[in-house]
Amino acid sequence: HDSLTGLANRSLLHQELAAAIGAAERDGHLVALLDIDLDRFKIVNDGFGHPFGDVVLQAVARRLRALVCLDDTVVRMGGDEFVILTPRVSRTDDIEEMAQRLVDSFAEPFMVEGRRVHLTGSIGITFYPRDGDTGTELIDNADMAMYHAKSAGRSAFRVFAPEMAEEAQRRTEMEIDLRGAAQAGQLWLAFQPKVDLDRDTITGCEALLRWDHPKHGPISPVDFIPIAEDSGLILPIGEWALETACRQGRAWLDAGLPPVSIAVNISAAQLFQRDPVAWVAGTLERTGFPADLLELELTESQLAQDVETAIDVFRQLRGLGIRLAIDDFGTGYSSLEYLRRFDVTSLKIDRSFVDGMLAEPGDAAIVRAAIALAHSFGLSAIAEGVETEAHRRCLRELRCDQIQGYLVSRPVPADEFATLLLR
Ligand code: C2E
Ligand code: CA
Ligand code: CA
Ligand code: CA
């Protein structure tokens, strides 16, 4: 059993699945497999150094257990992913109703240790024998269906369909196209201003990758970055992005524009490659872009992949004089311990909290706490996804240092950004 949640673990699942498939073959009924993944795993640290996330996962496990039948097997697959095995099913409708009940119950906020937790879950479903011959196939296809539920807007369930395998095929094709995209000049960087709230001026920008596909038109980084990460292409593409951003920054300085910092997003694979510090240092040297104007943004979930190495690399990168930001802050397992040990310069509050801050008291509390946390560690706080004047006013009241979002400007090509700087 899983030591954290007390649920069954993967190896138990495979045993139970094999037994269920055997029985179904004999008696002619169906077996159902539900793959569940939490969508908005908003973790607020309990303030005492151990992740509040563990307690939330335990509460989720208890909830799942309470919502299923006695002879169902509930499994924690690791992280915030769970599987439910229903060994004896006669109507697929029954399972779809159960999935809907699970989705609805997730969407209800619940209290854990006196805190209101709001998260949603996405579910993918497969049935034996229709959607796979073996346990592994059923699990893989349910996972595929779960991703479809997630990309359909989260908090939903999807039953596996063979078209979903076709989509996997499209991903493979996209990977092949992406391989040649940089050399073919299809990639470019857009720049989005960061505004200092006290001075009301642009003090920096974030460089965001853009891909103009010759056949399919613009493809969002939300769609191609995960493919680049899965295929290892993120290394050459990420190199191209950093190099291009630094060259652009140097060109702006040479053109006599006011100096602004440039933030570049870095994926885990780039941070944990052989010598990330030599790569960054080499790029700065080649391009002549000042180190103190470069900022790298990394998400908590990327750092979590290897905390000790990340801490070490961060220290060396800071030694170069560059700035480091924790991106999408509030969406992962951040603990105070983390913040103390990571040598970072700013926290970037995830746009989902900014988005909900005026309507959801929970989101407002997270934004307020994140800003206070940043300041107590001597870090600067930046809010992303700032779309309205009301957001700006509220963030100024909360003493947030910088804002970034459509209110100021969408990400724009380099020449347009230069115009914004001179305005
Ligand atoms: P991110 O780092 O969280 O970047 C912020 C995203 O929010 C950008 O999406 C930006 O266009 C969008 N955004 C900015 N202001 C607003 C706003 O007011 N409202 C809303 N709704 N959205 C806003 P974009 O450009 O689609 O990029 C998506 C993600 O792709 C980025 O999220 C980042 O994780 C990744 N990405 C982009 N460029 C790179 C890159 O060079 N390397 C890596 N590793 N990842 C990148
Ligand atoms: Ca998740
Ligand atoms: Ca970012
Ligand atoms: Ca972000």
Strand 121-128, strand 201-213: pairing: unpaired
First vs last C-alpha separation in the chain: 61
Q: What is the pLDDT of residues 205-259, one digit of tens each?
A: 999 999 999 999 999 999 999 889 878 899 999 999 999 999 999 999 999 999 9
Ligand 1 atom showing the smallest separation from residue 267 Cα: 44
Distance 109 CA to ligand 2 centre (A): 17
Measured CA to CA, the distance from residue 222 to residue 237 in angstroms comes to: 15
Q: Going by CA atoms, what residue is nearest to atom 32 of ligand 1?
A: 222
What amino acid is encoded at 30 in this protein? L
Distance 124 CA to ligand 2 centre (A): 13
| Token digits of residue 39 | 């969508």
Ligand nearest to the backbone CA of 225: 1
ipTM score of complex:
0.96
Distance 308 CA to ligand 3 centre (A): 22
Q: Going by CA atoms, what residue is nearest to atom 24 of ligand 1?
A: 221
Q: Going by CA atoms, what residue is nearest to atom 17 of ligand 1?
A: 385
Distance 209 CA to ligand 4 centre (A): 14
| Token digits of residue 321 | 């004089």
Q: Going by CA atoms, what residue is nearest to atom 19 of ligand 1?
A: 385
| Token digits of residue 87 | 């060994």
Helix (H, G, I), strand (E, B) or coil at 204: strand
Domains defined along the chain, listed by start: 10-162 (3.30.70.270), 172-422 (3.20.20.450)
In this structure, are residues 106 and 155 in contact, taking their beta carbons and an 8 Å threshold? yes
Distances (CA, A) of 372 to 19, 157, 296, 329, 375: 53, 37, 22, 13, 5
Residues with CB under 5 A from ligand 3 (ion): 265, 297, 327
Burial class (CB in 10 A: 0-12, 13-18, 19+), 367: buried
What amino acid is encoded at 191 in this protein? F
Strand 81-89, strand 30-38: pairing: antiparallel
Distance 208 CA to ligand 3 centre (A): 8
Q: What is the pLDDT along the chain (423 residues), one digit of tens a residue?
A: 888 888 999 889 999 999 999 999 999 999 999 999 987 654 433 333 346 778 888 888 998 999 998 899 999 998 789 999 999 999 999 999 999 999 998 888 877 777 777 678 999 999 999 999 999 999 999 999 998 898 777 789 999 999 998 887 888 899 999 999 988 999 999 999 999 999 999 999 999 999 999 999 999 999 999 889 878 899 999 999 999 999 999 999 999 999 999 999 999 889 988 899 999 999 999 999 999 999 999 988 788 777 888 999 999 999 999 999 999 998 876 667 778 889 999 999 999 999 999 999 999 999 999 999 999 999 999 999 999 999 999 999 999 999 999 999 999 999 999 999 998
Within 8 A by CB and 6+ apart from 372, the residues are: none
User: Which of the listed residues 384, 386, 392, 409 should we mutate to test ligand 1's pocket, taking the one with most ligand atoms within 8 A of CB?
Assistant: 384
Ligand 1 atom showing the smallest separation from residue 387 Cα: 18
Q: Going by CA atoms, what residue is nearest to atom 11 of ligand 1?
A: 411
Q: What is the pLDDT of residues 17-45, one digit of tens each?
A: 999 999 999 999 999 999 999 876 544 33
Q: If we measure between CA atoms, which residue out of 330, 332, 362, 334 comes closest to residue 111?
A: 362
Q: If we measure between CA atoms, which residue out of 212, 236, 217, 227 comes closest to residue 171?
A: 227
Ligand nearest to the backbone CA of 149: 2
The three state secondary structure string of 40-95 is CCCCCCCCCCCCHHHHHHHHHHHHHHHHCCCCCEEEEEECCEEEEEEEEECCHHHH
Q: Identify the residue whose tokens are 């990309």.
A: 151
Q: Identify the residue whose tokens are 């969406």.
A: 331
Q: Is the N-terminal amide bond of 129 cis, ω within 30° of 0? A: yes
Helix (H, G, I), strand (E, B) or coil at 101: helix
Distances (CA, A) of 163 to 141, 145, 148, 169: 11, 10, 11, 10
Q: Identify the residue whose tokens are 């560059």.
A: 322
Distance 20 CA to ligand 4 centre (A): 43
The side-by-side arrangement of strands in the sheet containing 81-89 is 73-78, 81-89, 30-38, 121-128, 157-159
Distance 263 CA to ligand 3 centre (A): 8
Distance 104 CA to ligand 3 centre (A): 31
| Token digits of residue 140 | 């893989």
Query: How many CB atoms sit inside 10 A of residue 389's CB?
Result: 9
Ligand 1 binding site (Cβ under 6 Å of any ligand atom): 192, 208-209, 220-222, 225, 238, 241, 265-267, 297, 327-328, 351, 384-387, 405-406, 411
